[in-house]
Structure 1
Amino acid sequence: MQKSIVRRKRFWILAGLTVILAVCCRDWLPLLLNQEALVQCLNIAEPWRSLAFVSAHIIATALGIPGTILVLVGGAIFGLVWGTLWSVIGATLGAIAAFALARYLLHNWFKQRFDQHPLFVRLNRIVGQRSLRCVLTLRLAPISPFNLVNFLFGLSAVPLRPYALGTFFGIIPGTLAYTWIGITGRQAIAGEKLWPLTLALSLLVLLSLLPVWVRWQSSRAGD
């Protein structure tokens, strides 16, 4: 009984904080979908633009807003190395926040509703036993539904530690590719050579095949 009351209080506290965050940020949330406006705002935010960029990433990811534009902007403003680093940090922290929201707000309800469903039980057992591998495999796919995956893992049996580690290391290749596209894309628009952009896009295509290779290697190891 006491645990039920504590969980209920925690639910309403987190739900209230999420609503407050969304309301407080509603005026500038559209900026997260406007590349040029983001570049201008972050340039004005100097010398705090790194912190502003990471904070924007965290909020966008926690609220389920696509972060691709942010990654492209990171490449245009910070360059390949720092743009990738700040994007990976921001996206990972935001993914942890989204995971926590799903875990503490909806996990118990979801488990009670689907706990007897054979497919849910089987999937939950697999991701619980191979948490890090499952997270890494999904994160290595640069075109996977990143925000949806955050919430789904929060509803599963995956512990926080392998989720955080798998997310951090798994998104590095895809983030690097998108950051590079952000740099080379602006260069192409400015009239410079197109081959760097073509190379960056080719890297993204190759990375999209990486999860297939990982699964193939896993199946070979199982044999």
Structure 2
Amino acid sequence: MRDDRMDEAGPRDDNRSPWRHAPLAAIITAAIVGYFTLGDYLSFDTLRDNREALLAYRDAHYPLLALLFVAVYFVIVAFSLPGAAVASVTGGFLFGLTLGTMFNVVAASLGAFAIFWAARTGLGRALAARMEASKGTIKRLKAGLHENEISVLFLLRLVPAVPFFVANLLPALVGVKFRNFAFTTVLGIIPGAIVFTWIGVGLGEVFDRGESPDMSLLWEPQIIGPLLGLSALAALPIVVRALRGQKEV
């Protein structure tokens, strides 16, 4: 006769295993180490010093360099290493606007998925379960989040003030659906990816002048304006639902 208590004990033991936190712990550790050790290497200076070698390698081994670029960018995002902006600009420098944007979106999305999975596997699962079992304000907040999940996730992607790592980690900790996270990640990072890639397309001329790319362009009205407009559009369903709720009350 099967002992249901043993079956129930197994999953509880597995959920309490400290190993479930290993993926997220590895990411946090790598992010801290990378912050102090890789900042000088993943920089525009390094790109400028190696530009001729990279361009020659691209011309000789285009598919291989594309794969290597996506792999390196994925590692940078997945482990929250410094240099994500440099990688995005490099995509435009090496592969042009169309392919550079595509490679940037693919690599950044896969890296975001990795962070989400790592957080959801351990800490995120425990926090989501506690929120599900909670009452009062936390329960209402969770219900509101799920009701506006797509809009909130788009806002996290489109608002420039939200760090990319936070937009990857926070959704996993509050129990959002992965399919919604994946959908909003891929679409939500496209506008920013186009801007960074576009800067990279003209990077050769910037280097020829002995300058570094001016990342302050990201805050110019013609750039930040459309991003804020998209953010407002993403927030519109939340506002409409809130107004409807007030009318019903």
- Check conservation: 2:151, 2:235, Cα contact below 8 A: no
The RMSD of aligned alpha carbons is 3.6
| 2:37 counterpart of 1:37 | no
Gaps of 5+ in 2: 1-8, 210-215, 245-249
| 2:24 counterpart of 1:4 | no
Letter in 2 for 1:163: F
Structure 1 CA distance for aligned equivalents of residues 169 and 21 of structure 2: 18
Structure 1 residue 94 displacement after superposition: 0.4
SS in 2 for 1:106: helix
SS in 2 for 1:165: helix
Describe the superposition over 1:148-187 as per-residue Cα deviations: whole angstroms up to 9, x where unpaired. Answer: 1211111012111110010001110111011112223543
Task: Select which of 208, 213, 217 maps to 2:227.
Answer: 208
Task: Select which of 52, 55, 67 maps to 1:51.
Answer: 67
| 2:81 counterpart of 1:65 | yes
Q: Which moved more, 1:42-51 or 1:174-183?
A: 42-51
Q: Does the C-alpha gap of structure 1 residues 62 and 199 become closer, same or farther in structure 2, counting only changes over 3 Å?
A: closer
Residue 161 of structure 1 corresponds to 179
Structure 2 CA distance for aligned equivalents of residues 161 and 184 of structure 1: 35
| 2:97 counterpart of 1:105 | no
SS in 2 for 1:164: helix
Structure 1 CA distance for aligned equivalents of residues 198 and 207 of structure 2: 14
Structure 2 CA distance for aligned equivalents of residues 38 and 189 of structure 1: 10
Structure 1 residue 52 displacement after superposition: 1.4
Residue 87 of structure 1 corresponds to 104
- Check conservation: 1:177, 1:200, Cα contact below 8 A: no
Gaps of 5+ in 1: 192-196
SS in 1 for 2:175: coil
- Check conservation: 2:100, 2:197, Cα contact below 8 A: yes
Structure 1 CA distance for aligned equivalents of residues 152 and 218 of structure 2: 29
Q: Which moved more, 1:55-64 or 1:88-97?
A: 55-64
- Check conservation: 2:115, 2:168, Cα contact below 8 A: yes
Structure 2 CA distance for aligned equivalents of residues 162 and 6 of structure 1: 27
Question: If the length of structure 1 is used for normalisation, what is the TM-score?
Answer: 0.77
